[in-house]
Amino acid sequence: MLSISNLSKSFGGVVATNNVTLEFPEGSLSSIIGPNGAGKTTLFNLITGKLKVDSGKVKLEDEDITNLSTRNIVLKGISRAFQISNIFPSLTVKESLMSSLMSKNNQAEKLFIPFHSKALEEEAEELLEILEMKSLSNVICSNISHGDQKVLDIGLALSLDPKILMLDEPTAGMGPEERWKMVETIERLWKLKKLTLIFIEHDMDIVFKISQRIHVLRYGSLLASGSPQEIKNNEEVINAYLGEDFEAV
């Protein structure tokens, strides 16, 4: 589905992504882990067009999408949510989703079409149902809880009807209970929408519980790739990141 080959990016003298080659099969749920500064978010930024690639290729279903504009990559079917929830503070939850749906329908530049149309509202309500956020529909986004903002952030990405959904630390800043609720939501959406899902995560319990494949980055390079079992037993990963006494669930 999505494959990246020999991807590199450096900032001045610092190599943030070093010759990374990865494959994300259709319908898979993969995670990317690694210590701080390993280049996880940079990798996301390279794939989604926020940063320009120095060398290497990003391919979506055999089509070269390297260095396309953010908008074009979105149109091809890759959308993402952010590490720090990235929403629209002055709009209501429903309006935010309506806005992204409007953009998906390629209606965002219509000067004389009223925004509050029945069709768009119904589409947004469907999405609210899926996200289990119906009760928050008319609340201004800046007033909802951190956890709900993260769900909304994912909802915005999901509303674009992506083939590939990329989540950057979906449980960052959440308490333990909220985290597992979020994990449930993510798994549910993944199955429901038959997505290819890639996420960055620091909570190893979550990573080892839900990932089909795990990719470990260190200093911008790929350290290891494999099933949770393989990664758990990989000496190098244990030494570099997980630590001697790591016991995954």
Partner 1 sequence: MSGFTLFKKDISIALFSVIILILIGFFVEHPWPKDFLISIFSFGLLAMSLNMLIGFAGMVSFGHAAFFALGGYAFGLLLQSESFLTNFGALSIIVAFFVSIFITGIYSAVIGAICVRLNEIYFAFLTLAFQMFLYSVIVSWVSLTGGDQGLMGGIARPVFLGIDLSNSLHRYTFCSVIFVICILLLRILNKSNFGYSLRLIRDNQERAEFLGIRVFRVKLICFIIASMVASVGGIIMTLFTSGAYPEWAFWTQSGEAIFMIMLGGISIFLGPLVGTVLLRLINDVVQMYSSHTELVTGIIIMIVVLGLRKGLVEYLLEKTGILKK
> Are 75 and 163 spatial neighbours (Cβ–Cβ below 8 Å)?
no
Distance CA 66, CA 78 (A): 13
Closest to partner 1 by CB, 82 or 208: 82
Closest to partner 1 by CB, 159 or 196: 159
The residues that bridge with 222 in the sheet, in sequence order, are: 217
Rg (C-alpha) for the chain, rounded Å, is 18
Query: Nearest approach, Cβ of 104 to partner 1 (angstroms)?
Result: 7
Query: Nearest approach, Cβ of 61 to partner 1 (angstroms)?
Result: 19
> Are 100 and 79 spatial neighbours (Cβ–Cβ below 8 Å)?
no
The residue with tokens 């800046």 is 142
Torsion, Cα of 23, 100, 167, 46 (10° steps): 50
Query: Nearest approach, Cβ of 221 to partner 1 (angstroms)?
Result: 27
The residues that bridge with 7 in the sheet, in sequence order, are: 20
Closest to partner 1 by CB, 156 or 206: 156
Query: Nearest approach, Cβ of 50 to partner 1 (angstroms)?
Result: 8
Query: Nearest approach, Cβ of 210 to partner 1 (angstroms)?
Result: 24
The residue with tokens 């990003």 is 58
The residues that bridge with 2 in the sheet, in sequence order, are: 24, 60
> Are 192 and 131 spatial neighbours (Cβ–Cβ below 8 Å)?
no
Q: Which residues bind partner 1 (CB under 8 A)?
A: 48, 50, 70-71, 74-75, 79-80, 82, 86-91, 95, 98-100, 102-104, 107-118, 156-157, 160
Closest to partner 1 by CB, 71 or 188: 71
Query: Nearest approach, Cβ of 180 to partner 1 (angstroms)?
Result: 26
Closest to partner 1 by CB, 34 or 77: 77
Closest to partner 1 by CB, 16 or 156: 156
At residue 181, the 3 state secondary structure works out as helix
> Are 172 and 202 spatial neighbours (Cβ–Cβ below 8 Å)?
yes
